[in-house]
Chains A and B, each alone.
Chain A
Amino acid sequence: MKATKELLVTSTGHEDWVPLLELAAREVFELMLGCQLTSSEDVIDTVMEITSMVGLAGELRGVLSIQCSRESAALMACKMLGIEQDKVGPELCDAFGEVCNMVAGNFKNKISGLSAGCMLSVPTVITGSNYKLHRAAESLALETRLLFEGTPLVISLQVHR
């Protein structure tokens, strides 16, 4: 069985950023949503039907994205707003985008000397799972998989060379 907590690095260099990416995400969920992201050795089959993306420009160029199920994104929104899950409406995409924005900002702040020279775009949220994200040929992909309230969350960073 393939481990869910798999760190995927498709090229050499910056592999040591994966733990920072994971730490950045853990801190955001702990401080802003009041919950712990966990690791799991089990594979959980879930349709990742919502994606949030934040672009990075300047000294570090690329895209940070988070994918999860719509139910997970709704749960994030209700935890951030302190409301019941069935009361979450259009805030879902706003909340999910803001989570990605905070993870991206927290991540770049952890890399010495990078923060001031790297700018973030405003977040973009895509709903639906029937799409493929094509990355630039000369890019490095870092990925970490975590569990949010028992459901999978994929956090990816594509760094353009």
Chain B
Amino acid sequence: MDGISALIVDDSSVMRKIVERSLRQAGINLTHVFEAGNGAEALTLLAESRVDLILCDINMPVMDGLEFIKQLPGVANAKGVPVVMITTEGSEAHVVKALSCGAKGYIRKPFTPDQVREHVIPVLAGK
């Protein structure tokens, strides 16, 4: 797989590092990793930078993950960029809501690198 840039959105810096490590363990060649602590920070970052993949938590201060992905269609740098949610919110209602808002994948915390691989690789392949 060619190198990709990823944006990881989570209010926990530790979790952002874990997600990055899991992506690398999944065999994804990350050329650059952008980090944001909430949806608003992520939108600011996307105004300046283009990424290939977004991984996003739901429960965050300032702007949560669902509000963030609702706003992505209006962001030029996010056009066609797949979003995978990584969150403690595990109900079917949350999954349905996230997918209806435009998410392409959903990973529940706690997770393993294998689960990251299973959910992210098909999304990157456009399946």
Contacts and interface: CB of A to CB of B under 8 A. Distances in A.
B110 A116 contact: no
Of the listed residues B90, B91, B110, B112, the one surrounded by the most CB atoms of chain A closer than 10 A to its CB is B110
B44 interface: no
A150 B110 CA distance: 22
Interface residues of A, number: 25
Given A31-B110, A105-B109, A109-B108, A115 B11 contact: no
Contacts, number: 67
Contact of B21 (A30, A82, A106): A82
A97 interface: yes
Nearest to B110: A31
A105 B90 contact: yes
Contacts of A15: none
Contacts of A119: 59
Contacts of A120: 59, 88-89
A101 B14 contact: no
Contacts of B60: 122
B88 A105 contact: yes
A122 B61 CA distance: 7
B13 interface: yes
Nearest to A30: B110
A97 B112 CA distance: 19
B14 A81 contact: yes
A49 interface: no
B94 interface: yes
A102 B14 CA distance: 13
Interface of A: 27-28, 30-32, 77, 80-82, 91, 94-95, 97-98, 101-102, 104-106, 109, 115-116, 119-120, 122
11 contacts: A30-B110, A32-B111, A81-B14, A81-B18, A95-B12, A105-B89, A105-B90, A106-B90, A120-B88, A122-B59, A122-B61
